[in-house]
Structure 1
Amino acid sequence: MFNREKFLNYIREKDEQEELTAAKVLDKAKEALRSHEPTFTNFLNPYQRELLTSILDQIYDLKYLLYGGFEQSERKRIALMPDYYMKEIVSNPLAIFEISGNFNFASVSHRDFLGAILGIGIKREVVGDLIVSNDKCQVIVAKEIKDYLKYNLKRVHNVPVEIDEIDAEKLEVDPEHVKKIKSTVASLRLDSVASSGFSTSRTKMSREIEAGNVKLNWKVEDDPAQTVDLDDVISIRGRGRVEIDQRLGRSKKDRIKLVLKRYT
C-alpha cells in the first residue's frame, strides 16, 4: 500500500492549500485498491490534475482515466482503479445537460448559469465545464447529481428554463484556434510576457494580474514580477491562454526573443 503521509507532505511543500484535495484523492485511490472497483474524484482544474497525477503515477498498482466531456475541457474527473482493471468497462461518471429558455430579453453569461446551478445547493466541485451561447448553456456535471439538477433547476436570471440530458456528441464546442506571435521582451516577467501575448500594455496587464484576473499554470498569480518559462500557461477568463513556445536568443538590443502561442 502506498505511503499516504509521504505524498501529502509532498503536496504540502508544493501547495498547502491543495492538501485537502490531495487527501480526498488519495483516499479515493486507497478505496479503489481495497474494493477492486473504480472510484471517481470530483472535477479538478488543470493545476490540480498536474499536481496530483505526479503522485498517482508513483502508485505502481494503480491506473487512472480522465473524464471531462470533450478533449479540451478545462475541468475533468479522474477515475482511479487497480492496474489490472479493464478500462473498457469503466462507467462514464459524467452527465451532460442542455439548459434553454427565452433569453431574448435577458443577457445571460457563464456566471449567470453557474450561479443558478450553485444557487440550488450544488457544489462547484461536482460541476465541470459550461458551454454558453446566446440562448442556452450546455453543462457537464457529475453523474451522481444529475437527477437533483434536473428536477431543481427552474430559473436562470429569472427566466424559466428547460433542462434536457444530451449525449457528448451534441456538445457545441468551438474549435480551438492557435496563433503564433513573435515578440521581444525585456525579461521573462509575467506582466511582460502576458502583455505581449494578449496584445495589451504592460501597465494594464500588471493591474489585471494584481486584481487576481490572471492565472499562471491554472493557478491565480497576483505578482506581476513572477518569472515564466517555456511551456508555462498564462490564462485570462474569456480571453484564452498564452504559452511560451520557443526562446530564440537575444536581439541586438539585448531583449529576449520569443515565439508565443495564443489559444482562443
Structure 2
Amino acid sequence: MLLFNQEKLLKQVDDENERIMAANILDKAEQTLRSHEPVFSNFLNPYQRSLVEPVLDKIHDLKYRSYGAFKKAERKILALAPDYYMWELLTEPLVILEIKGNFKFENVNHRDFLGAILGTGIKRELIGDLLVADDGCQVIVLAEIKEYLLLNLERVHKVPVEIEEISAERLSLPTQRVKKIKSTVASLRLDSVASSGFATSRTKMAREIEAGKVKLNWQQETDPAQKIDLTDVISIRGRGRVEIDEILGESKKGRIKLVTKRYL
C-alpha cells in the first residue's frame, strides 16, 4: 500500500529529468517511512532542492534536513526521516578529502579537479562542493566512494596527487567577497540585470546567455528576455554570482534604479 500519491505530488514538476530526480527522492521518502530509519539522497544543487523541498513538505509524518559539510555549501544531500526521529542520532554520510600535489607550475582550477574525479568513473551526484587552493583541493563526497577515490585518483592535470581524509575543522572555507553596484536598467530582464552585475555590455551579455554560459537559479537559461525577481540568482562559472539587493524606484528617465550584489 502506497503511503502517499507520488503522481499527484509530481504534477507541479514538468521537466522529464526533474521528474525523474524528484521521483527518486519520493522513493526515498517512502523508504524512510516504511523502515523508520533515516535515508539520504545524493547531492543536489540549490535549484534541485528548491523543486524537491516543497513536494516533501506535503508529505505527512516526514521531515528532512540538508547537509553539505559546511553551512554555505552549494551542493547538499537531503536526510529524510519520520517526524519522530531525533536528528541528534544521525551520522552524516559525508567525508572531506584533501587532494594535494605540486601544482606550483600548473594552472589548475575547479574544472581540472572535478574532471579528474569524474575521470575515475564517479558520478557527479556523489560529489559535493570543491574548495580549490594553490596547493590542492578539498572535496566533500559521500562516504561510500571514499575508498574508491583513495585507490583510483592518482593525478590531476598530469600532476601526481596524494589524498587524505580530513576533519571539518580543517576545511579552508573561502572568504566571501561581496561587491555592491548601483545602476539603472531599462527593465528587469536577465541580460539587463546580468550586464549590470557583471559590468559588461548588455549586447555581450545577451550573446553569453544565448550561448548557454549563464545560469539562473543554477539552471542554464538561454533567453536574454527572461524576467528576474528579487530572489533569483544569476551565475557564470569563474565570475561569481549576482543577485538583486534592492530596487530603488524609477529615475527621471523612467529607468529602474537598482542595487546588485556580486559575490566574487
Q: TM-score by structure 1 length?
A: 0.96
CA distance in 1, matches of 2:151, 2:119: 14
CA distance in 1, matches of 2:61, 2:240: 37
Aligned partner of 1:60 in structure 2 is 60
Aligned partner of 1:125 in structure 2 is 125
Residues 39 and 80, structure 1, Cα contact 8 Å, conserved in 2 = yes
Q: Return the offset for 1:5.
A: 0.9
Q: Return the offset for 1:2.
A: 1.9
Tell me which moved more, 204-213 or 173-182.
173-182
Matched, 1:141 2:114: no
Aligned partner of 2:44 in structure 1 is 44
Q: Deviations over 1:93-119 (max 9, x none)?
A: 111000001122322111111111111
Q: 1:11 aligns with which of 10, 13, 17?
A: 13
Q: Return the offset for 1:131.
A: 0.8
For residue 67 of structure 1, what is the amino acid of its counterpart?
Y
For residue 45 of structure 2, what is the amino acid of its counterpart?
N
For residue 64 of structure 1, what is the amino acid of its counterpart?
Y
Q: Return the offset for 1:253.
A: 0.3
Q: Return the offset for 1:9.
A: 2.1
User: What secondary structure sits across from 1:207 in the alignment?
Assistant: helix
CA distance in 2, matches of 1:133, 1:40: 29
CA distance in 2, matches of 1:111, 1:30: 36
Residues 131 and 174, structure 2, Cα contact 8 Å, conserved in 1 = no
What root-mean-square deviation, in Å, do the aligned CA atoms of Structure 1 and Structure 2 show? 1.1
For residue 4 of structure 1, what is the amino acid of its counterpart?
Q
Q: Deviations over 1:134-158 (max 9, x none)?
A: 2101000011111111111111112
Structure 1 ranges of 4+ moved more than 6 A? none
Percent identity over paired residues:
68
User: What secondary structure sits across from 1:131 in the alignment?
Assistant: strand
Residues 10 and 55, structure 2, Cα contact 8 Å, conserved in 1 = no
Aligned partner of 1:234 in structure 2 is 234
User: What secondary structure sits across from 2:199 in the alignment?
Assistant: coil
CA distance in 2, matches of 1:115, 1:247: 40
CA distance in 2, matches of 1:178, 1:88: 35
Aligned partner of 1:181 in structure 2 is 181
Residues 231 and 245, structure 1, Cα contact 8 Å, conserved in 2 = no
The number of equivalent residue pairs is 262
Q: Return the offset for 1:32.
A: 0.6
Aligned partner of 1:82 in structure 2 is 82
Tell me which moved more, 208-217 or 79-88.
208-217
Q: TM-score by structure 2 length?
A: 0.96
Matched, 1:258 2:255: no
